[in-house]
Each structure stands twice: as C-alpha cells, then as structure tokens.
Amino acid sequence: MKLAYVDMENVIELDYRKATEWIIESPALFQKYVHLLNLQVEGEEGGFVLSDDDIILDISKYVEIVVNPFALDFEDRRIQKKLYLQLQKTAYGEEMFIDTQKLNADLQSYIFRLESICGYDIEIDTAMDVQQLFKALGVKMEGGEYDFSEKLAQYMKLMSELMGKKVLVFINIRSYLENEQIQELIKNAVYNEISLLFIENIQRDFLEMKKYYIIDKDGCEVY
C-alpha cells in the first residue's frame, strides 16, 4: 500500500511485513500532517490518499490512528457494533444455531413461569433479538486486564480482525516503548497482517524491521 499527500514529493510505502516510521522534525509540519490525517480518519475530506495496487482506499474505513495510547477505548461504539454483529452471526451459524434456539425457548419458558407466579397477562416477542440480549448482559470487549504492551497488541488485533483496518497509525509511540517492545509490536502486526505507521517528531535508534521517511526541520524530505 501507499500513502501520499498532495504537497509531498515522496510516497510513503506501507507493508505489514515491515513497519514504516515517518519522522517529522518540523513542529509546524508535524502538527499539520497529524491533524489532517486524523481528520480524514474521522471521515472528513483531505489531501491524503491511500492506495493499494493503484486502487484508492477510503482512509476512514481502512486506517485507525492512535494519538493517546493510554486512552484506548475497547468499549467504543464502533467496536461494540461490530462485536455484536459478529456474535449474532455466530449465534445463528451452523455450530451455535441449535443452542440459540434452545436459549430462546428457555427464556420464553422463564417468562411464562414469571407470568404464572405473578398472575399478570404478559405478551412476549417469540423472535429473540440476540443483540438486545448482549446489551442486557453487558457484553463487551475485555480491555482492562492487560499491561500496556499487551493492550496495544490486543487493540491491534481488534482493529485488524474485527474492524477490518489495514493500517494502524501510532503518534510518538516510541516515547513510551523500549526498542524490544517496538519489535514485539511489529511482530504482532505481521501476525495480524496490518501495516504499522509510526509518526514521530524526533529521530531515535534505527531498527532493522522498519522503513524510514524523514522530513527535517527545514521541511526537506529524506528517504
């Protein structure tokens, strides 16, 4: 895949097998590109173009950006929606269909017993809405029991498998992780087949598992 911007000479190549680090030493340009990319991830129009084999991809659909890695929201509405749809599909799939029908019958029997004990005439919808059941039971992704590195890896897996993201962008993530942790994050990206783009505002140690693009303090581009 490739990420381009209208006023940049170089195109940033993205590949899940090797992470990409984009170092922007100019504070003004760092703020500009991070802000504009974030807006496009949120669905606004902009000058960034993501492509794969010359096919233009919707950035809001295929890119996720993490500005604050300490505020990863595993209960985000988008994640919950995708999770419930996946669970619903599984509930009515071949492996779980009979169990789902039995649960529906058991719930109806439970309500009828309540009706008998309470003495009220009660109507129920015999077609069970499993998504409403998930909400009633508070079904959600587990995100609180992981340490920092594990939470990043779990979030990456969710973005790839559940949300269908192709690119995960981290802003200044190397300020929080040792080189060994960065290498482990890259290995997880390879396993999940999701491209990593690290956008940093200072140059640190170069790592073998990365490609580098640099915009220096004067705005000059270096590959």
What's the pLDDT tens digit per position in 2-32?
A: 999 999 988 999 999 999 999 999 999 999 9
Structural domain contains residue 111:
yes
Same domain, 24 and 60: yes
Query: Number of folded domains in the chain?
Result: 2
- Which of 39-48, 114-123, 204-213 shows the lowest mean pLDDT across its residues? 204-213
143, 74 contact by CB (below 8 A): yes
The pTM is what? 0.89
Based on the domain organization, do 50 and 94 belong to the same domain?
no
Burial class (CB in 10 A: 0-12, 13-18, 19+), 122: exposed
Give the domain-ending residue among 111, 136, 161.
136
- Structural domain range at position 22: 2-74+147-222
- By three-state DSSP, how is residue 9 classified? coil
**Residues 180 and 217 placed together within one structural domain of the fold:** yes
Give the CATH number, domain containing residue 18. 3.40.50.11940
Residue 171 falls within a domain, yes or no?
yes
**Are residues 40 and 88 both part of a single domain?**
no
Chain segment 125-144, per-residue pLDDT in tens: 888 899 999 999 999 988 76
What percent of the chain lies above the pLDDT cut of 90? Answer: 83
